[in-house]
Amino acid sequence: MNAPTGTPGAGRMTYREACRQAIRDALIADPRTFLMGEDVGLYGGCYAVSKGLLQEFGPGRIRDTPLAEAAFVGAGIGAAMAGMRPIVEIMTCNFSLLALDQIMNNAATIPHMSGGQFAVPLVIRMATGGGRQLAAQHSHSLEGWFAHIPGLKVLVPGTVEDARFMLKAALADPNPVLIFEHIVLYNAEGELDPSVTAVDIATAKVRRPGRDVSILTYGNSLPKSLEAAETLAGEGIEAEVVDLRVLRPLDDATIFESVSRTRRCVIVDEGWKSGSISAEIAARLSEHRFFELDAPIRRICSREVPVPYAAHMEEAALPQASQVVDAARGLVRGR
């Protein structure tokens, strides 16, 4: 058997390996769990997350599907309603639009429309984001779109630890849960604390405490924000970095507490600015913490263009650490 390497729950591993170990643990723990999606079996996954799992668990648990997102997401919904615990992989989040009717009109609404008679304990994983020169059709950040839909939970693991343990909590949830894994993070490495065996899927987390400005972010913008905070610290500005982690439901309490303390806020969101999750957070802060702000809210988002293919243009279109530094510095120093 080609069992994946790495020690479950501890040690240093990549984000990709953390995702794989999470799936493997789920398959071992519950015979009702199976993985389905395009190229997840024989090919080992478009991003090699499921490599080796077909050999270990067989085609009954690792199911390659046709190129038909509406069909296999619908099958996943049916399986979940029938008592299974499917993990559906959509190769990249732009393909989720082909299954939007199933996700929005079935998975998210059936528990409500059935008066609670049916639950849909479905987990959908998908790759998101730009930065790998996959051009306009494969570099979307659509997690903010799905965070608009009642009935869904939307998770965006930005660390190896969250990638390792969020899936377990998602599978235990009776509601449909969407997990967005950023394509740039798959090669990122992290050290897992052996004492950590679970994470919650309800709260944001302060990744770096600070007193001068709050940087609210998620996904691949988290390492960029931490890099920015390190640069700012060299200038005497202590930025607090809050990893949102959960975009629906948003953890208002952690967001409000951080901004109330620092009194300044930069939101870093790889989605487009118009109608984005950053816009929702800014609106909530304006509604509930307006008089505690000492400066306007700043937002660092992707340029409002289809993501370019050329590397230098793609970099210019996506949020960068230098932009976060400039925004935070301007808020603290009043310019």
- The catalytically annotated residue of 38, 69, 240, 314 is 69
The first and second tokens of residue 208, run together, are 């770096």
- Residue 199 C-alpha from the chain's centroid: 14
Residue 17, sorted as left (phi over 0), alpha (psi -120 to 50) or beta, turns out to be: alpha
Q: How many angstroms separate the CA atoms of 299 and 227, rounded?
A: 17
CA distance 145 to 289: 24
138 is known as an active-site residue? yes
Q: Is the dihedral of CA 267, 125, 175, 9 positive or negative?
A: negative
Which one of 89, 138, 161, 314 is the catalytic residue?
138
- Asked if 153 and 294 count as a contact pair (C-beta separation under 8 A), the reply is no
Based on the residue annotation, tell me whether 148 is a catalytic residue of this protein: no
Residue spans of beta strands (DSSP E) within the chain: 11-14, 33-37, 62-64, 85-92, 123-128, 153-155, 177-182, 189-192, 205-208, 213-217, 239-243, 246-248, 265-272, 298-302
DSSP-derived 3-state class of residue 63: strand
Mind telling me the catalytic residues? 69, 138
